[in-house]
Structure 1
Amino acid sequence: TFDTCPIDLELKSFNGDHSAKITAFTTNRVTGSMSAFDWNQCIYQWPHLKHIQFPHIAQRPVVDVLIGADCADLHCAIAEVRGRPGEPIARLTPLGWTCVGNPGLNRRTTPQTNFASTYFVRDQYEIEKLNETIKRFWEIDDAMVVKTGDLRETNIIKYEDKLAMKTVENTVRFADNLYRVGIPWKDEKLVLPDNYDMALRRLANTEKRLKKSPDVATAYNEILSQYIEKGYIRKVPKDEHFKSKSYLPHFPVVRPDKETTSRRD
């Protein structure tokens, strides 16, 4: 392992015509023991390379920067000069001339292999936090397969689910190779607010609209008379008392565009 950090730097071609800003990671030796090769030493060995102006290598032939594939535009070939098959290929890139291929058929070269592994080490607190998140995820995922008694003690399920589970525990029966379980009906009575004033205002507004439409008022009166005859509605005496009272405003719905059911109540 080795220490590394990201840095921002700017690369320029030798003639200064092109520059590019990149982000790189620092290391002691980019390519290990592999050194840079000066193509000017063998340009006369290949006729097609004689007029190529390769950059001169410094006295310290060490690779300082390795440009990766994330900077693909810097590897793009603006022009290429080729020889016969198997000979090196000169390539003009935005940063200048370079060459790819075997530097010389008569040159003895020692094969070199470099292998680099990069590991990103994060803060220990972040790793522990991630482990805790994954642990909680699996605990919630596995909660539905634990025993009923254990599940009831957790805060994962809702209050309504706990009531349903209690109904199952109290009513479950096994007979004739079948399980019978009671339906978890809601036993809480819904308390509706006393909306007498609101319903009275709605009734007054309905009466005003019916006075402006006599045909609708006549049809509406006929429907209410049918409700009384069928026992759907009745007049509530003043001395009849209820623990809770809630009023449902009644009004006609007129649809002139409907031929069969132009009015609904």
Structure 2
Amino acid sequence: MVAKAHIDQLLDGPRLNDNDSAALVQLVQQMTVCEVTLRQLNYDSDLNSCRTIETIVRRLPSELRFKLADEAAIITRSSREPQFADLTRFVEERADNASLRYGIDALQDNLERLYQQDFIDAGTIKVNKMFVGDHQAIGLVETSLRLSDGHHEVARPWRPGFFLSPDNRSVAQGRLYVLRQRLMKGGELAQHYSHVMGGYISRGHAELVFEDGPANCPWYLPHHPVLHPADPQKLRIFFDCAAKYADKSLNNRLLSGSYPTSSLVSVLLRFRQGKTAVMVDIEAMFHQVRVPDKNCDALTFLWWTNAGMQGSPTE
């Protein structure tokens, strides 16, 4: 039943549109999870059926189907039939390129929004009306805020009656396996990524989950590297709080509150109010803010404790 459910999920999915990078990345994640799961159940031969492969191929955009046909012809000339692993490798290579383009497009969108926010004319600045959810979010943050060992601690502003189950570990684990394949191909990228992860543990920004926890059903956050375009050695790990499973994500279970960022105009005007201006840069600022233990279950992620990224990942 488990094997059939994983295969049906692949076969029943919608056809991918051209240039839909996010959907292509999601497909290869599903294929990787399916392949790993069925291999563990000794049902991996079911993936190599003509019906399974042909149905997945029909989901691909027409451009990719033409390219896949060329690769399938090369495989056939080597006296063997194309298998599911060949299809996964093909989609994964295209997903890597698509993921890079998708990340660049998302970064460009974020930069445009930032510039639009910073260069609003003073005459067009309006006071945003606060809604009920905004007041609730601010109230939850203010009532839970406290200082703990020199760090601010604040609870997550959950929506009323929030509910994050079912268990999304399969999604996070599938994306982790795709990430591992990318890191192993990236030379020093794997070493840098492991170093940053180790820094989270050593600085207390994250901690291992022991056998007696977490007490509640955890929500697993997928993650991937973000490289500085001018300095490839400068790596940050992005935890995808918008990743959905069963139409739920961490982001849509939180109250967003109002947008507190000051406009560039107001910042420049404040520079004229005093004799001296001070600018502060806090290292790893967002990681310096802690959350209560009862909220940690919703911020669980997977990684390996060994340098070779082998075996089962650890929470």
Larger radius of gyration: 1
Normalising by structure 2, report the TM-score.
Answer: 0.24
- TM-score, normalization by structure 1: 0.28
Tell me: higher relative CO, structure 1 or 2? Use CA pairs within 8 A at least 6 residues apart.
2
- Structure with the higher strand share, 1 or 2: 1
